[in-house]
Structure 1
């Protein structure tokens, strides 16, 4: 018996054969990225006859055999993935499905009766419609939430249970990002801790489920925006430009291969057939500290609309920041530092026809701080002149057919430039009272990432259930160049006697390139109406480690009952990280010589160097497994309980190789083993008119056998040791939401408590005293509350907000002097204060 699509199944027998589909009409993958629509049509022609066999089979109209196919697109014609479809028959229960990559969901085994169909997804307005008894397919447009809309009979989609999705996923919508109170709302990265899995460290880096900051894959509209060298999220996008932020932390697709702890997807806006404009914080803030002056101004704006209605649209979003930092304790004329930053996002979308879409994106970031780092302990002369810039240029093509075939091709290139320069060439001197002289390092970094993506989702195949096959390839070409020069450092004690000198040799110009390629094959298998399995495998290789990695993953989701009110999930798989160039290039930074002058007159000299044995390195890996339960409770509350465990092997780390008493060699090895276990309990509800309530408790244990990150600029002269990772937080409670007060007034609130970060004691000779990370900063607690009033002025809609961050005035220090030989031992810095904030937003015409 020949099943529909059987010939295509034979093509998928081999992974390599299926991955080759994307190249059927192109001589090279680079060409493929620039001729995506021609290739898409070619693939359609080659598969058309097979898909035609499948689509020509008409469903029987007898009771119990009817099929209904629903296709969901947004207002710009782009398929909506993971939209929740609920089909209800009067007086009976509901059947729940989710849309696939092509925006399609299918109901089978229906009776020839009328049904009520409800389509919803967080960040969109709910759509409901009646389905006639003879309807076999329906096309639905799902509209994104807008900050201000003329339509009154719309309401936001609640965050319900997606019974067919296996991944652990959470979403922050644009309304939540713009409404919830948090410090520095102009930087969307500061909103990420509203996910209970995410914590920010003292310098703002993002840690997901106890991982290092480079172990989360960060994408902007499908393109990788991780820094090519450090792997950090440093690209800035205006908060007003973000439509949604999705975080996947377990059981996620093999499509993602450069983050072992999670995937962060930032989706930005696009214009529609109406011209829109908004502006935020367009009035600068002033202060009278040491005279009247502008101390902070963070304007943001967006403008969007049609280029050609129903066919092409544009979107512009920009923001700026001007900050003047005044240090009271410093003398007039040397007491202030100014910094400015701006970013701009430009997007356009053209629908070549109803099934072929082209989107272009350009993002630019610029930053300048002439006296970066000014503080009581770092006077003007010891600051650095810092200049940063980043750019992203991306082009993506998408094509899909009514039978479920969906293909996307994209090319993106990003550039990063980071420069720091001291204020002069005077000797750099450190003492307990602070720094003097000019900073010891001058550097200029250039990094570039060119990436190509191609993904193909095939028409669903009915065989022992329903199969949704997806395959794709990804190429990343990275180039890195750095020029660095270091001058000596002089360290003195409180009595002025010499304690240590540091000198540097080598450095200069260094460079390193990497070419990484990956491919994946995935099958989302709907075994029954209530049981879904996702099976996938991923292959990766780069030009540094030269090892072909094989990463299988499997996940299950099971709905207890047809109504989808309870879901069980489980998954296990092999997860990888992109090779970290910041680690690999440390030997190129040169050597460091430290001379310690002891009080008894003796002298100790230590020469530090770094080395990498690239040919013998192995690719790091994590074995992740997780299990979760989601339950819809009475009164539309949703409870989620999730457990996740991560076990690292062959991770890269520098360890000491003592060649002699006066020389320490740090060698890059695969000796690191991280262990993470976490439990999370979440309770959430979306009230009428989209007001959210979210509460969670998280427990984590993040340990490693190698907790030190040896660095030529900040050395620790101790052997690698095991202990808690620096971002381990055993306990955390999180609460946030928005509630109506009275007509046109809303209250937004957030509260966050967690255990303090761990740290180690060190002595004057930079040696660890006692067990690593055996001590903790005080517990962190922050309570924020803002009230917003929306009102009309002439023909326009505005929103005025006043609030307070850190209402309790808790200090929440982020830095501690842990040097046991320092006269300021155990003194805190980096503390917070109670802050009164205000904001005014222009939302557009009434």
Structure 2
């Protein structure tokens, strides 16, 4: 905390306090329909901070010093518009309405009509712009690295992202509003280069009824279109070398990124291509004393790309085509001290997602957006050998137990009708639409025998799997929604919506209402209060559709001597679905937030969110009935209190500091965790307890500080409480209540990126710098010896090491 405050104070050195105001507005087309994704700049002779309009066409600049400014709005397919002499007064709100005309038209119209004060933002909504993402010290150049900077987003001990106090499989990832999560497990499964991202929007509160199929949060990636001038960006083509014993031992990482964008036909057809190659070695230093170097590291090789074509067919019709691809291989997946080389599988991933979106103006202030998409995601998880897996008191010491090979497809068709109307009761932004989704998967899921041994090497248990390894399932979902953003008074905005859905696996009709209110209780824009309630339904993962036909297990228990010829008991566990079948999981969310302007350039957000989940999928081994039972008996609950402070700095800089107090509890035998892509053979009895990613206290600080001489300093700092873990005995049985005992040590991580812009020619600039990970080499262990029979019981290991790399980028 002391270091975080020091960074906060240092960032303010040289900043001259002065009274500030706000510039806000909406951007519409010639027919009055609101436009999302428009880049809006607030320009002076000194700097030009930028933002992008949200899904409702709204934008806002806060903490603006008094003076005269120029508003500039640009969007592919439309003529850029400028509005000069926008006056900002201290403590006042300046509202503007910008009208864009498609570039194929002859005239450009800029309207400066005052806009009635309204609040388009939603609770728990955080946006990080694409330009900001590229300036932060992110390890691999992928958008997922930025998500933990958002309050309420925690990367769990399994490396997956947990939004709003929920498991990773309960949230959804969208690409330009279309779902791109893995239909088999419901987890994130797409990679994109940072340069392809215009904005990253994260919703952990009551989000719009347009979005569904998630009981947790929503992350929506808005991609960058091409423009009327060709541009090229080349990032991070400097290799980071690996040292050992004072000598260079190969490449540690190499993650170059390239983006090329420009017009195919000026004014009507634009092209954008972003590519990211990532090669990364993540070594486990604690294994180096026992294994040669190649057997002590996870090797990850990914190739991500996005192709986008934007076409303005007529002044009232534009289309966007996108194709994302994300193949990759990982050797020694999640290798650590408990899962060394032989026990770490290899994986192969092949995936792509293609979409076409159509934006049509139907009339004054009325538009229709239609999208169609196809996603393919194929995965192979391969053990090192065909031998049995051996689980010891010191971890898995022989082979990974499961071989997975599956292909999947998802097909989406969605349409949204938007209309803006004014009436005696106030203004209304009306939206209605529907979505049809079909998904399937097929493949093989075969498990090898698992042998569990005591500290002396004798057998205590053996697990065998039998049955047809073929897996296959499909699901079809139909959903419709309606929403009204109603402003009955200048200070009050109501968001009322509902979403209906039906899905094939559950065979259930669901209705999810949502209500949120936003109030400005005082004159001016210094204080905003938001509160609301929402019900959210998830989509069942495809692996639930064929659960009963999957391989079943047989568990054999041995006596103290471990004699395989004289077992004590043999239990068969057949896969069964609870009586009444499966239902759609749901959650109920309540929230209250206060937004307050403090001083000249600081905004404060204080919020409380409470979420209760029910009908969640859990698996429980019922020995007496001989069943591995899948049911909707799972529940969860989470509470979050958030304090976020945002400070605007000179030259488009910013600094963000958040503290979150949180509690996350739920049934621990989550179905996707136990039967997902990467799993553990030991299945304990289900219990309600702390979630594996529960972190009661968390502080995140990040920012971009632009100093004189075009030097930029970008730190990211995280402190959080250590995650809980379960203690087990020699037979791998839980000791006490799972996750209610000890925790990992508290985590502290500080990364830093320092760069300088060097102008090479009139059209070409270079950005050079140095990037440091885990500055200070704080001990942040990822492993713990949690078995009471181990001589190392209670010892922590596998800390993240400090890394240093050079950054070099070209822009022309």
Aligned residues: 733
* Displacement of 1:696: 1.1
Q: 1:47-91 deviations in whole A, cap 9, x for unaligned?
A: xxxxxxxxxxxxxxxxxxxxx9964469xx9923699999xxxxx
Residue 668 in 1 paired to residue 636 in 2?
no
CA distance in 2, matches of 1:843, 1:562: 45
Question: Could you tell me which residue of structure 1 aligns to residue 130 of structure 2?
Answer: 174
Instruction: Return closer, same or farther for 1:99/1:246 CA change in 2, 3 Å cut-off.
Output: closer
Identify which of structures 1 and 2 has the higher relative contact order when contacts are C-alpha pairs closer than 8 Å and 6+ apart: 2
Residue 314 in 1 paired to residue 314 in 2?
no
Q: 1:594-620 deviations in whole A, cap 9, x for unaligned?
A: 223332556343333321248533322
Instruction: Return closer, same or farther for 1:716/1:287 CA change in 2, 3 Å cut-off.
Output: closer
Question: Could you tell me which residue of structure 2 aligns to residue 784 of structure 1?
Answer: 751
| DSSP-derived class of the 2:262 partner | strand
Equivalences for 1:110-189 in 2 at 5 Å? 128-129=83-84, 139-140=99-100, 163-182=119-138, 184-189=139-144
CA distance in 1, matches of 2:96, 2:466: 74
Residue 827 in 1 paired to residue 787 in 2?
no
Contact 2:172–2:181 at 8 Å: present in 1 too?
yes
CA distance in 1, matches of 2:661, 2:294: 49
Equivalences for 1:217-366 in 2 at 5 Å? 217-289=172-244, 292-324=249-281, 328-329=288-289, 330-331=291-292, 338-366=299-327
Question: Could you tell me which residue of structure 1 aligns to residue 713 of structure 2?
Answer: 747
Contact 1:417–1:446 at 8 Å: present in 2 too?
yes
Question: Could you tell me which residue of structure 1 aligns to residue 805 of structure 2?
Answer: 837
CA distance in 1, matches of 2:480, 2:162: 26
* Displacement of 1:324: 4.9
Contact 2:71–2:82 at 8 Å: present in 1 too?
yes
CA distance in 1, matches of 2:669, 2:278: 36
CA distance in 1, matches of 2:748, 2:86: 51
TM-score of the two chains, using structure 1 as the length reference: 0.80
Instruction: Return closer, same or farther for 1:379/1:308 CA change in 2, 3 Å cut-off.
Output: same
CA distance in 1, matches of 2:223, 2:141: 15
| DSSP-derived class of the 1:323 partner | strand
* Displacement of 1:433: 6.0
Question: Could you tell me which residue of structure 2 aligns to residue 806 of structure 1?
Answer: 774
CA distance in 1, matches of 2:310, 2:590: 39
| DSSP-derived class of the 2:232 partner | strand
| DSSP-derived class of the 2:169 partner | helix
| DSSP-derived class of the 2:489 partner | coil
| DSSP-derived class of the 1:673 partner | strand
TM-score of the two chains, using structure 2 as the length reference: 0.83
* Displacement of 1:179: 1.5
Contact 1:727–1:758 at 8 Å: present in 2 too?
yes
Between 362-371 and 209-218, the greater mean CA deviation after superposition: 362-371
Contact 1:81–1:102 at 8 Å: present in 2 too?
no
Contact 2:617–2:670 at 8 Å: present in 1 too?
no
Equivalences for 1:327-726 in 2 at 5 Å? 328-329=288-289, 330-331=291-292, 338-369=299-330, 372=333, 382-400=343-361, 403-432=364-393, 438-600=399-561, 603-613=568-578, 615-659=580-624, 663=626, 665-704=627-666, 711=674, 714-716=680-682, 718-726=684-692
Instruction: Return closer, same or farther for 1:386/1:717 CA change in 2, 3 Å cut-off.
Output: closer
| DSSP-derived class of the 2:204 partner | strand
Contact 2:101–2:315 at 8 Å: present in 1 too?
no
| DSSP-derived class of the 2:189 partner | coil
Instruction: Return closer, same or farther for 1:245/1:614 CA change in 2, 3 Å cut-off.
Output: farther
* Displacement of 1:793: 2.6
* Displacement of 1:586: 3.7
Q: Any unmatched runs of 5+ in structure 2?
A: 1-23, 43-51, 60-66, 88-94, 104-116
Q: Any unmatched runs of 5+ in structure 1?
A: 1-67, 87-97, 106-114, 144-160
Instruction: Return closer, same or farther for 1:167/1:140 CA change in 2, 3 Å cut-off.
Output: farther
* Displacement of 1:164: 4.1
Contact 1:501–1:594 at 8 Å: present in 2 too?
yes
CA distance in 2, matches of 1:703, 1:336: 33
Question: Could you tell me which residue of structure 1 aligns to residue 45 of structure 2?
Answer: none
Q: State which structure, 1 or 2, has the greater radius of gyration over its C-alpha atoms.
A: 1
CA distance in 1, matches of 2:97, 2:611: 43
CA distance in 2, matches of 1:121, 1:604: 73
RMSD of aligned alpha carbons: 3.5
Contact 1:180–1:738 at 8 Å: present in 2 too?
yes
Contact 1:620–1:670 at 8 Å: present in 2 too?
yes
